[in-house]
Structure 1
Amino acid sequence: FDMKAITNKAHDHNCLVGFDLAHATGNIGLKLHDWGVDFAAWCGYKYLNGGPGAPSGVFIHERHLGLKDIPRFEGWWGHDKANRFDMPEEFMPLETVEAWQLSNPPILSMAALLASLKIFHEAGISQLREKSEKLTSYLEALIKSELSNQIEIITPPSPQSRGCQLSLRLLQPVEDITKLLHDRGVISDWREPDVIRVAPVPLYNSFKDCYTFVQILKSILNEC
């Protein structure tokens, strides 16, 4: 989706704009501030590799900072540090995005997420995105070449219009196909009634992985 265009259109009608970026953060390049997005939220356990229970994240555009009457959950960590221990009845938000903090952060979970973010910073999201588009294009070409009569790709065909995940619809049902894939070393996801979701992640997957996956899937489909 063109988030900048959506944001501009919504603002033309005096609407606030927020995005769910669970499948975008760590997957594609984002310029939320430059696009004028009001707020966004995402999880840390998917493409950011924080693991189960990883902290989530939020973005709040700076034009909303310092406002006292904005609807939100308010907690101890978001109160002005200068008089936090005075326990005033009125909530005094910090002038930064910290005003949206509620309570103590989970330190051990944040440590794992921080380790991953350092790797992202070193690799660079632009370089990762470039590799991601090549990986999904290669995987798409392999599937169309070798499995076109058994698999339909329902993800948008343009690499620029998708992340690193491809959704593959089985043209003929195969019972427990994700288990069969798992038994051969492939971690995939299943969505009823007939879709396998696979994601060659540029940070740690290779073109060889894509080729190997297609050969394994082809073998399973031919056996069934």
Structure 2
Amino acid sequence: MAGGVIEMQHDFKWLKIFDEVGIEQLRKKSKILTQYLQCLIENEINQAASKFKIDILTPKDPKQRGAQLSLRIIGADARQIFNELERLGVCLDYRGDIIRVAPVPLYNSFMDAYRFVSVLKSLKL
């Protein structure tokens, strides 16, 4: 298979980082990063004069969720927002009328979460 060895080297790099950092630290960052993203959405989108609002369907308690936030868009076309975000290079998922986003602690930063919400706010709908 062409490229298989290179692709596996990439995987081994992440496994080494994962092993060095440890699951406890990754989970800790995951909880904080997801909470930060939730707060940004609530404050920068829902409490601001925004073109639309977002209902976060995922439980607010970090003990009851992983890194993913399931977002229902209110007052705008969720599919249109998803398509525009995807066109801009944001990795997310769309199911029904729900946009799912998950900041991954191994390679997403707090700045990535901030940029995500900034892009959401700047969409021309």
Question: Matched residues in 1 for 2:105 and 2:28: separation?
Answer: 9
Given candidates 172, 175, 183, the residue that maps to 2:75 is 172
Residue in 2 that maps onto 1:189: 93
TM-score, length of structure 1 as denominator length:
0.47
**CA shift for structure 1 position 117:** 1.9
Q: Larger % of helix: which?
A: 2
Residue in 1 that maps onto 2:20: 122
Greater relative CO, 1 or 2 (CA 8 Å, sep 6+): 2
**Superposition RMSD on alpha carbons, in Å?**
2.0
**CA shift for structure 1 position 162:** 1.0
Question: Matched residues in 1 for 2:8 and 2:111: separation?
Answer: 32
**CA shift for structure 1 position 127:** 0.6
Residue in 1 that maps onto 2:49: none
Aligned length: 115
Note if 1:139 corresponds to 2:43.
no
Secondary structure of 2:71 counterpart = strand
Residue in 2 that maps onto 1:211: 114
Query: How do 1:1-224 residues align onto structure 2 when only pairs under 5 Å count?
Result: 113-148=11-46, 150-174=53-77, 175-192=79-96, 194-220=97-123, 223-224=124-125
* Rg larger in structure: 1
Question: Matched residues in 2 for 1:142 and 1:113: separation?
Answer: 31
Where in structure 2 are there 5+ consecutive unaligned residues? 47-51
Where in structure 1 are there 5+ consecutive unaligned residues? 1-106
Secondary structure of 2:82 counterpart = helix
**Partner amino acid, structure 2, of 1:158:** D
Q: Deviations over 1:142-169 (max 9, x none)?
A: 1111222610000010112111111111
**CA shift for structure 1 position 128:** 0.7
